[in-house]
């Protein structure tokens, strides 16, 4: 994985980790449900950004490589699988 992408992914994961810990605190403190839901939404958004970075990297590096090596169908299959996963949210 490209170092700059890896650093961005790790940074986003640390953000998400902090948000999850914050969610745990809010639940333990029995904070108002709407406030917990807002924090949950922020954590999901952080993970979504991780997915965006990983997909971008995959397309730039692996999908192009697969296509150049005559495995374009495999690349398309993988991309469609990820797309279908993202639609389940």
Q: How many helices (H) and strands (E) does the chain have?
A: 4, 0
Please name which of 46, 45, 43 lies closest in space to residue 25, comparing C-alpha atoms: 43
pLDDT tens for residues 24-51? 999 999 999 999 999 999 999 999 999 9
Q: Global pTM? A: 0.80
CATH 1.10.287.3510, applies to 3-87? no
Is residue 66 within 8 Å of 75, Cβ to Cβ? yes
Provide the 10 A C-beta neighbour count for residue 59: 14
């Amino acid at each position: 994985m490209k170092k700059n992408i890896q650093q961005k992914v790790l940074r986003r994961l640390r953000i998400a980790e902090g948000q999850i810990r914050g969610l745990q605190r809010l639940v333990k403190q029995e904070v108002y449900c709407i406030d917990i839901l807002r924090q949950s939404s922020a954590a999901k958004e952080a993970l979504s950004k991780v997915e965006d970075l990983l997909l971008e990297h995959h397309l730039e590096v692996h999908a192009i490589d697969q296509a150049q090596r005559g495995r374009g169908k495999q690349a398309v299959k993988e991309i469609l699988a990820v797309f279908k996963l993202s639609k389940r949210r």
